[in-house]
Amino acid sequence: MKALLVRSLLVAILVGPAIDVVRIIVLFRRATKYDPPISEAEFRQMGNMTVNEMDAVFAKRRIKMSRWDWLRESVRYSYFWKEVARDAIVPTIGVFLACIWVGWMEKRRAPAAPPPHYRRVGQPAGALNHTAPHPSHA
């Protein structure tokens, strides 16, 4: 049972976050970045602008990014990996529980085989119980 827990935990730790990374990539729509980035002083000034004026300022700097460009940009920042770790909790728990359940079901279905060598009552200690071959095999 201990080996099953360790194997299930290892699979969950590897597969759970991978499921989340694939989910992030597949469900990604369009990303936008602003070049040059908006400074804090500009952000304060925008508080006095109307929505149309702010949109005009943003439109000049807006750069649309593809899925792979966004991923290439985001992977190097810690916020990306923090989000992956946070969002991977549920898939990791699900994979762990699924592995435990599958292992338990396999163990339950496996027939209990007797030990390969055992002594019958009344046999000397050195004698092993080997059954005689079936007459059709002789």
pLDDT digits (tens, 9 = 90+) for 91-101: 999 999 999 99
Which has the closest alpha carbon to 87: 25, 16, 11? 16
Asked if the model's pLDDT at residue 114 lies above 70, the reply is: no
Q: What is the mean pLDDT of the chain?
A: 82
Residues whose CB falls within 8 Å of the CB of residue 76, separated by 6 or more in sequence, listed in order: none
Rounded CA separation 41/48 (Å): 12
- Mean pLDDT across the stretch 123-136? 57
Residues whose CB falls within 8 Å of the CB of residue 14, separated by 6 or more in sequence, listed in order: none
For the chain, percent of residues with pLDDT exceeding 70: 80
Strands annotated E in the chain: 31-34, 62-65
* Residue whose tokens read 């194997």: 7
Domain spans, the chain: 2-110
- Mean pLDDT across the stretch 46-57? 86
